[in-house]
Amino acid sequence: MQIIKTAVAAALATLALSASAMTPIQDTELSTVSGQDGVSIAANLNIKMDSFVYTDTDALDANGMGGGSVSFNGIKVQGLIAASIDILSKNSFLAAAGAAGVTNPGTFYNPASGGDVVQIAIPADVQVAAGKLLNISVDAIKMGNNAASFGSVAMNQVDLRGTQVWIWAH
């Protein structure tokens, strides 16, 4: 009886191990698998930054010029953004770059030996509610330690739809 139990346990263990074995899958096979073609990212941004300060570290010259700083205070980025991440083959990348208006990709990418390219794209057809595109603002721009402000800056309804970014190794 003990031998039968041991044999059954060994058979079940073998079956479990073979069922969970990983096997390689080719890109052509992977492309037919639903849900495995790229990655999508969506974000409702609400970024706030107290300040961005630029400081000139040059020593003062004979005229008292040099040094100083400028600060951008109360920086905000708000709105919706959606992007997809895909891997493009060399030929797909060259076609996408050509469609984007690149007339000579050889100036930055080697068409003869270049490989796959990562594409981050903000789809042109993403539907965004009115007033929900990106808004970027700076509440105050100040020089040095002065309390007075030059004013504020705002970029409203920044529409990045249709943007493509490509990344590759070289």
Query: What pTM value is reported for the model?
Result: 0.60
| More confident position, 18 or 72 | 72
The closest alpha carbon to 133, from 159, 163, 162, belongs to 159
In a domain, 90, yes or no: yes
User: How high is the pLDDT of residue 35?
Assistant: 54
Tell me the percentage of the chain whose pLDDT exceeds 90.
Answer: 49
User: How high is the pLDDT of residue 68?
Assistant: 86
- Position 12 pLDDT exceeds 70: no
In a domain, 32, yes or no: no
Write out the residue range of the structural domain in which residue 88 sits.
Answer: 40-59+67-167
Distance, in Å, from the CA atom of 30 to the CA atom of 144, rounded to the nearest integer, reads 57
Distance, in Å, from the CA atom of 168 to the CA atom of 97, rounded to the nearest integer, reads 13
Element of type H or E holding 84: strand 69-88
Overall average pLDDT of the 92-110 stretch: 92
Please tell me the total count of domains within the chain. 1
- Position 8 pLDDT exceeds 80: no
Tokens 């030996």 correspond to 113
In a domain, 3, yes or no: no
